[in-house]
Amino acid sequence: MKLPHLLFTFVITILLIGCSAAPAAQTKEPRSFKNTVVSLTFDDGDADNYQVRDILAENNLRATFYVISGFTGTAGYMTADQLRGLHQDGNEIGGHTLSHTKLSAVRGADLKREICQDRLNLLAYNFDVTSFAYPYGYYDEKSKQTAIECGYNNARIVSSGPAVIPPVDAYALPAMPYIVSDTRFAKMTRYVTQVEDAGGGWSIFVFHHVCDGCDQFSVSLETFSKFAQWLGEQQKTGLVVKTVGEAVGGEVKPGVAP
């Protein structure tokens, strides 16, 4: 009688350990965020960007779209109606110049036209235009001053992030490295968790095309959806996702004629 009894106990114990261990191995500890803000930014107003509208809304996220107003509605770029749709959902429409010119190469009236006229065009759609991004991230003192004169509250550069809130220089907001076609989901989440682990900060993401490898500077819809869903989940444990304009703050200034 003793041996079968021992065996029985042994089997039951194994079963119990197995049952209690299984869910623990599958469920990841929900991590909490206390000091990290994320901004999702899309450069250029590419037509394929419109695909993320529903994904953002479904996950309770709002992004910043930097638009080249001179290209709006032309082949390969979003239409004015699509921009209005994004804006209606609470996304931010920011400026990215009239024609995507390297600003360090233009001067005087041309420089002012590229930045001020672009902003005027976007204000004419009734967008709250407070945020600007330098094409290719190229900027100098002159372009910075012009962004200020044209009524912008902030301007984003590229790389060298994370940034902090309030920013060290609102007219040179550093972003995380470009999201490119081989940037994986895990790396994107690390751009958020590493900032939190290092004490917090502002992680600004820079996206361009949304497609399956149509461009080096692209993210697939699948990877973006996964990341958006992950961000949506983390918002429940303290992560804050804001548009750039919200993160920096300030009133919408009137347009300035170039």
- Which residues lie near Zn ion (CB under 5 A)? 43-44, 135
Smallest separation (angstroms) from Zn ion to the CB of 104 = 14
Total Cβ atoms within 10 A of residue 194:
14
Smallest separation (angstroms) from Zn ion to the CB of 208 = 7
Comparing CB distances to Zn ion, the nearer of 135 and 151 is 135
Comparing CB distances to Zn ion, the nearer of 176 and 239 is 176
Give the whole-angstrom CA distance, residue 95 versus residue 120.
10
- For the residues of 138-182, what is the DSSP string, one character each? ---HHHHHHHHHTT-SEEEEEEE--B-SS-S-TTSEEEPSPP-TT
Smallest separation (angstroms) from Zn ion to the CB of 100 = 6
242-257 residues labelled b (16+ CB within 10 A) or e (exposed): bbbbbbbeeeeeebbe
Q: In the complex, which residue's CB is closest to Zn ion?
A: 43
Smallest separation (angstroms) from Zn ion to the CB of 198 = 28
Comparing CB distances to Zn ion, the nearer of 33 and 132 is 132
Smallest separation (angstroms) from Zn ion to the CB of 96 = 6
Comparing CB distances to Zn ion, the nearer of 74 and 88 is 74
- Cβ atoms of 85 and 56 closer than 8 Å: no
Give the whole-angstrom CA distance, residue 224 versus residue 51.
10
Comparing CB distances to Zn ion, the nearer of 41 and 234 is 41
